[in-house]
Amino acid sequence: MNMNFIKTIFPFVILAIVFSGCKKEPFEWNDDTNGPTESTIEMVDLGLSVKWASCNIGAVLPWQHGNYYSWGEVNTKDEYNMENCVTNGINLNNFSGDATYDAARALWGGKWRLPTRAEFDELVTNCSWRECYYPNGVFAEGPNGKSIFFPVGGLMNSVELQEGGSAGYYWSSEAFTVPGTVASCLYLDFREHRVSVNSKFRYMGLSIRPVSE
C-alpha cells in the first residue's frame, strides 16, 4: 500500500501544500439542492473493478459526512443500539444489491450498491492514499490517476457521535467471520496513519460510500 503523507518542514510550507492539494474539489460535482439522484451522482472510475460514488449517502458534496446507518439498514435513526438493530441475529453473509438491506440500492437505485469486502481490499491495496486536513479526510488515487475524497465522519454509538473529524468508518456488504455478531467495514484511521479493512458491531452507525458496475 502506497501511503503519502504531508511531512512537517516549515509552517508556511505546510499551509501551501495543504491548500494547494486539499482545498479544491477532487472532481467536478453536479450540485443538486434536492440531494443526489442517479443522474447527478458522480460515478468515478479509478481504474479498478467497480466505479465509486463521489460522495457518501446523505451528502451532496464530497467532503460532507452524510448519513449514518446500522449495517444492513436503509433508514437513519435517533439512537444506534443492539436493541433496535434490524439485522441483529439475522444470518446475512453478503447483501450487496439487495434493496431490503442495501441502503445504496434502496435509496439511490440503479446499479448502486454497498461495496464488498473484496472491493474494499482492492481499493486499499491499489490506491495511493493522501491525508488531508482541510477538509478532514483522505484522497484515494486510483491506478489511472483519478481520485475520490473520503471525509472522516466518525461513527454513531447510541446517541453519541464518536471520532468525528479524526477517523472514518464505511460499511461493506459482507458479514464478518461470526455471522450474527459483527460486519466487515472499511476502517480509516489517520491518527495512526493507516488505511485498512476491519470490523465493527453491526448496530453502530457508519457512513456508506456506494459503488456501481
Measure the CA–CA gap between 58 and 62, rounded to whole angstroms.
11
Helix (H) or strand (E) holding 192: none
CA trace torsion 23, 12, 163, 51 (10° rounding):
30
Q: Is the pLDDT of residue 6 over 90?
A: no
Measure the CA–CA gap between 147 and 116, rounded to whole angstroms.
19
- CB contact burial 138-161 (16+ within 10 A = b; e otherwise): bbbbbeeeebbbbbbbbbbbeeee
Find residue 132's DSSP bridge partners. Answer: 137
Find residue 156's DSSP bridge partners. Answer: 161, 205
* Mean local confidence (pLDDT), 64-90: 95
Entry field: residues in the chain = 213
Measure the CA–CA gap between 24 and 22, rounded to whole angstroms.
6
pLDDT at 60: 84
Q: Is the pLDDT of residue 13 over 50?
A: no
Q: Is the pLDDT of residue 159 over 80?
A: yes
pLDDT at 25: 41
The amino acid sitting at 118 is A
pLDDT at 37: 55
Nearest to 123 by CA among 172, 176, 167: 172
Cβ-contact 78, 197 below 8 angstroms: no
Per cent of the chain over pLDDT 70 is 77
What is the residue extent of each domain of the chain?
2-212
Measure the CA–CA gap between 124 and 102, rounded to whole angstroms.
22
The overall average pLDDT reported for the chain is 81
Measure the CA–CA gap between 157 and 200, rounded to whole angstroms.
11
